[in-house]
Amino acid sequence: MVALDNTVFFSQVSRLRLSLGPLVAGIALTALVLVLGAILFRGFSENGFRLGSQLAWRYTALVFFAALVAGPACRAAAHFFSALTPPESLGRRLVWGFCASYGVDLLSVFLPHVIALSAGATLMVLFVGGVALVMAATAAPLRRLGDKPILPEKIRRVLLGTAAVYFWLCYCVMALARISGPHRPDAFYGISLCLMVLGLLARYGDRWISYRETQRRSETAAT
């Protein structure tokens, strides 16, 4: 799978810019509102936390899809609307927003087990939380003040890509298990599976077009 990255989307044309300051906080806050709303609706019980976790899981799937297609969609938009200059930080802010909202989801899974700790739930939360932390940390180069990046670029992109593949597979496997298993029909899982496949195709298509453009420019320069 093509890794989620933090490349510069476009040249610096300052005609129309978008403000992304509150984007990460807004994504995380929405996930928190969904969880708290479910708990208030169902009560401070296992059912309330289960509904909250389910809503947060679905919400994070949509945020993850947005992070997948943000780059290709913005490049396509800039191609047809030259006045639009998407912010360079859009990709990493969506990744950070996804990781923050996923943290809220993990919290809603872990809290019901605080009194009677479950080894399985604790290990799951720690592992997935660790993957989300790696993804958030590698969404942008980590630098010391005025120094070189802590991680080499290739290693950073490999870690980011591995985390992205993990979450992509999680959403796909969960959707396939719900669709094929003895569960109540739920259209969301079919939609989420289609979105994951669409996001993957969009990124591959975007990279193929970028490769073709680079190849064409090299041939033009050579002649």
Structure tokens at 27: 């994504």
Q: How far apart are CA 197 and CA 55, in angstroms?
A: 21
Distance of CA 25 to the CA centre of its chain: 14
Domain ranges in the chain? 23-140+149-222
- pTM value is 0.82
Give pLDDT tens digits for 107-148: 888 877 665 667 777 788 889 999 999 999 888 777 766 667
* Max CA separation in the chain (angstroms): 71
Asked if residue 92 lies in contact with residue 24, where contact means CB atoms within 8 angstroms, the answer is no
pLDDT for 1 equals 45
What angle (nearest 5°) sits at the alpha carbon of residue 93, between those of residues 125 and 109? 20
Give pLDDT tens digits for 14-68: 333 445 568 899 999 999 999 999 989 888 777 888 889 999 999 999 999 999 9
CA separation, residue 90 to residues 66, 87, 178, 194, 205 (Å): 10, 6, 32, 23, 19
Structure tokens at 140: 């942008």
